[in-house]
Homo-oligomer: A and B are copies of this chain.
Amino acid sequence: MKRYETLARDISDSILAGTLKCGDQLPSVRVASTSRGVSPSTVFQAYYLLEAQGLIAGRERHGYFVVANGHGLSPVSTAAIPPRAEITTVDVSELVFEILASVGQRKVVPFGSAFPSPLLFPTAALARSMAEALPKQDRWSAVDTLASGLPALRREIALRYLINGQQINPDDIIITNGAMEALNLCLMAATKPGDAIVIESPCFYGALQALERLNLKAITVPTHAETGIDLVALEVALQEHRPSACWLMTNFQNPLGSSMSDEKKQALVNLLAAHEVPLIEDDVYGELYFDNLRPTPAKAYDRHGLVMHCGSFSKCLAPGYRIGWTVPGRLFRQVARLQLTTSLAASSPAQEALALYLSRGHYDHHLRMLRSTLAGNQRKMASAIARYFPAGTTAMEPAGGYFMWLKLPDSTNALQIQRLALEQDISLAPGPMFSPRRDFTNYIRLNYGHIWDEQAEAAVATLGHLISHRR
């Protein structure tokens, strides 16, 4: 480690430990240089690195300040008429598998894909981090720090929380084989077969498949395209069905793109805490915001260790690395043990490479570019849809992520459109994938996270034509 990296690490450790708090001024370069016995340029380099990592910020003529903490609240969402929750068994896996299998071919326009384009990730920089990190790897760490993940990576993840205003102890983080494993471990820790679980309607099909696999019943609670889950309906569901857990996405929900306001997140956490129900919070799109600040996770309002926050690098940095994590709160021990007996640990080279990459402060730069591309693509797709889709189509334009949820004219059969589109080498995700009873028959989810080109534009036109003529 170079001298400035050591200094930067000392300072970030102080921030992580709470010794340096948000708003605290760092010593001037001159003072730090004297007190640390290093050159002024070493101090400058350390401060630049910390700034790139988002931990401190320079203010002109005033020096450097710690900025790692929370942000203001966004406005309360408008209330909606609360339809009732429904309890049901889940039987959608077969449909989901069929459709996922159809997406995998490269010649297909990937509107049905679950990932952004792999061309948008810093593959080469990650490969360099890997090449640099592996030869330095502590050989013993391959066998004796398997459990819960590489300490250096858990530290970097804790720093990301800190930048967003949350004090998370690195020891409370468990690194997993992608967020999918994190979510599944949390679900297993919180439930036993036959239990009922609150999910959103519509919701991520992976949640539906997990429920089906673990013989859990689904309590579907209506979820609004702008403001997220309906809290009134949720409260009724909690009283009537006594669920073991609630699994939802607070930010850029898949497929809706909806985000809950901070007040609503807080109300959600309080409501669930009053019923002693753990919240499994799937926050894999949280870093892909188009506004100025990362939306807060519900975890930030957790006072009882009941929120099991799950994140991942798969959607915003390194899809193939399969590195996610969870901060499972009071069920930490159960989750850790379940991991030990199911997959043991996540892959160590991937963890080493990500830890080094993050410590170098490259991540935020990459994220800014990625967000800007995604936001631009959303505008292009929205405008193409407006041009080519029939009247009666409505589209949500979420403030982050890379999915657009479209309501097609009432009589449209999304599954039929999906099959016809695939014949023309265009994939899409039909609404019934996102519901335990295959509802949302006239909805589709389109992915705008791929390179926007003439082929994409033409594919939207083709879809519009199919929808106009086939319902």
Contact = CB atoms under 8 A, between A and B. Distances in A.
A134 B131 contact: yes
Contacts of A119: 139
A321 B349 CA distance: 6
Nearest to A348: B320
Nearest to A104: B144
Interface string A113-125: 1010011010110
Nearest to A101: B147
Interface in A222-262: none
Given A131-B131, A143-B319, A347 B344 contact: no
B97 A123 contact: no
A203 to B, nearest CB: 14
A252 B311 CA distance: 40
Contact of A193 (B131, B193, B319, B343): B193
Contacts of A342: 180-181, 184, 210, 213, 342
Contacts of A270: none
A320 B349 contact: yes
A277 interface: no
Interface string A130-154: 1100110101111111110000000
A274 B346 CA distance: 39
A93 interface: yes
A137 B178 CA distance: 20
A277 B143 CA distance: 35
Contacts of A147: 104
Contacts of A127: 131, 134-135, 137
Interface string A192-221: 010000000000001001100101000000
B343 A210 contact: no
Contacts of A123: 134, 137, 139, 142
A106 interface: yes
Given A340-B97, A344-B178, A348-B322, A124 B135 contact: yes
A11 interface: no
A239 to B, nearest CB: 29
Given A142-B319, A349-B350, A343 B115 contact: no
A97 B337 contact: yes
A177 interface: yes
A337 B97 CA distance: 8
A136 to B, nearest CB: 9
A343 B142 contact: no
Interface of A: 93, 97, 100, 104-106, 113, 115, 118-119, 121, 123-124, 126-127, 130-131, 134-135, 137, 139-147, 177-178, 180-181, 184, 188, 193, 206, 209-210, 213, 215, 318-323, 337-338, 340-350, 353
Top 6 A-B pairs, shortest CB-CB distance: A142-B320, A320-B348, A347-B347, A127-B134, A131-B131, A209-B341
